[in-house]
Chains A and B, each alone.
Chain A
Amino acid sequence: MALLEVKNLGISFGGLRAVDEVNLSIKKGQLFGLIGPNGAGKTTIFNLLTGVYQPTDGTILLDGVSIVGKSTAEISMAGIGRTFQNIRLFKNMSVLDNVKAALHNHEKYSLLAGIMRLPLYYSKERQMNKTAREILKVFDLDKEENYLASNLPYGKQRKLEIARALATRPKLLLLDEPAAGMNPNETAELMDTIRLIRDKFDITILLIEHDMKLVSGICEQILVLNFGTELANGTPEEVLNDPAVITAYLGE
């Protein structure tokens, strides 16, 4: 059974059909690419998957359970983590606290334990620090743990966002243009990191990218979107050789 099963997904904003009849089937452990030109509806699909928008049509099953109608927070707890195209960090919090905030559902203690500084507070906080630092280390951010998130350079902010999403221990990680604004070197390095985390954290990744070449380098399967509808769906070779894709990307 697929980890994520999306059937006939659609949403309209007023008259605009932003996403229409999209089908997705992502297997556990897969690195799946979602590409398409600007305005194709990629980010909208992420927003539908995470409950930011409610679909007008279609079904979304995560591990066989429908997540349509659930709140964003509930979907996060059900196992979908995400990053944002326009970075959304907790800017005035430290790098470490950004990740620790995302651990809140895994290391719990009561309000009273926190205020009274009961032993549970100290043991859980220490556990959180340990876990958060391990995750930061993967992204080479461990030396900046006390920086304010807003003081990190751009590339590291993108990484911190992925680290934060990972800290929620998602089954499925959605990355919205993680390489946007990076130079080719940074991009190549990031793609290596993405592959690494897929293996290290044993998760499934759905990746939005602008750049066809980049995605085809690391993704096992790709869905090409155009004007909200599927243009092609298959392995990188199949998609790259698809006449419809070539037309849409290279023009007539």
Chain B
Amino acid sequence: MKKNNTNQKINHNISVKNEKVNLNAIQKEKKAEAKSAFNIKNLVILLCIIAGYFLLAYLVEYRLNRQFKSLIVPIGANIILAVSLNLVVGFLGELSLGHAGFMSIGAFTGAIFTLNMNLPGNIEFFLAIIVGGIMAAVFGFLIGIPVLRLRGDYLAIVTLAFTEIIRSIINTLSLPAGKDKAGELIVKKGAMGLSGIETYANYTWIYIAAVISIIVVVNLVNSRQGRIITSIRDNHIAAESIGIKVSRYKTMAFVIGAFFAGVAGVINGHNLSSIKPVDYDYNRSINILVFVVLGGMGSIKGSIIAATILTLLPEVLRPIRNYRMLMYAIVLIAIMLINHSTWKSRLQGNNLLSKIFKKEQVSE
């Protein structure tokens, strides 16, 4: 009898707790109805972006030591990767393990481009980013067209294989790596990778690239096309029944994701100055997926935060070298727990940033 009683109590507690959680989730943020792009909210965002840039510039120029300075570009690149993968995994609902492969295509295309061109630095780098992104997008299209027609987790398997195949293909290729002093074309074995890539990627470039990719994904998700993409995730049969051409929009989201992975690859290559095919294996895809899962599927803000923390973490933990991976694992678990606790939503409710970025939350 007594035992029974406690059970009931526990049950009661659980249901009360659930109710609380539900109340937080029950109502979606009301979207502000703006008449044009020139509204107060966008103005505030623009000011924040500009202020953010000056803050970053100040930190890099006056405050950060070399170790942290060297992390700015990787953090930005990981943000681009996480946000674009979230479009595919979180919003479209397709599991892709191909982001490292697309990154690799972008990195090598971009590096070959700048090694062989003789344009002014910034123009050359800008074009390399575009070319690398487009090349990755083309491969995304070629994979997406046949695979996204299928139902089930085929995409995960195919993209996993794709990443490994791209690596082996680049390994066997001969890559043109610019001209030597005598004007002869230098040809490098793919497996050796490329080196001597100009390190164009600085904090200004990565800031612009990351901000643009975030804006593109956020705006996409909150548009007609974004609604179509999330409706496919939620129920593809119902989506078809309201006239949505499912495989077309799946391919659209996947190709856009691939494009930004390619962009991140170009930036990565022009940060490191030398790249090898092995740098872009499936482990890297998994790492990017970890950003997305920990940040929360369908949460852009979460992807940004997770990518930042998890890029900084290994460096912060460097002094306790032996326990580094252990600490890394503990932090991963902690983030997961926080994600599922109530005070995350409490935090979200009262902070200014979340009010400004309301729109992002709509699809959380």
Contacts and interface: CB of A to CB of B under 8 A. Distances in A.
B26 A151 contact: yes
B235 A101 contact: no
Give the interface size class of chain B. 35 or more
Give the interface size class of chain A. 35 or more
Given A89-B238, A148-B28, A97 B227 contact: yes
Nearest to B234: A90
B33 interface: yes
A72 B240 CA distance: 6
For the complex, would chain B's binding face be called helix, strand, loop or mixed by DSSP majority? helix
A156 to B, nearest CB: 13
Contacts of A168: 242-243
Contacts of B30: 146
Interface in B212-252: 215-216, 219-220, 223-228, 230-231, 233-235, 237-246, 252
A92 B234 contact: yes
Contact of B225 (A114, A129, A147): A114
A122 B35 contact: yes
A104 B234 contact: no
B55 to A, nearest CB: 25
B25 A148 contact: yes
Contacts of B220: 111, 114-115
A100 interface: yes
B279 interface: no
Given A88-B238, A146-B30, A104 B22 contact: no
A147 B223 contact: no
B27 interface: yes
Contact of B252 (A101, A108, A111, A126): A111
A76 B242 CA distance: 6
Q: Chain B CB within 10 Å — which of A72, A77, A108, A124 has the most?
A: A72
A128 B231 CA distance: 16
B240 A81 contact: no
Nearest to B42: A117
A42 interface: no
A117 B362 CA distance: 17
B10 interface: no
A90 B362 CA distance: 14
A148 B234 CA distance: 12
Nearest to B229: A101
Contacts of B42: 117
A164 interface: yes
Interface in A60-82: 71-74, 76-77, 81-82
Contacts of A17: none
Contacts of B37: 117-119, 122
A109 interface: yes
A84 interface: yes
21 contacts: A50-B241, A73-B244, A73-B246, A76-B240, A76-B241, A91-B235, A93-B227, A93-B234, A94-B362, A102-B242, A104-B243, A104-B244, A107-B224, A115-B216, A115-B220, A122-B34, A124-B224, A125-B224, A126-B35, A151-B26, A167-B242
Lowest 7 CB-CB distances: which A-B pairs, in order?
A: A114-B223, A76-B243, A90-B234, A88-B238, A72-B240, A102-B242, A94-B28
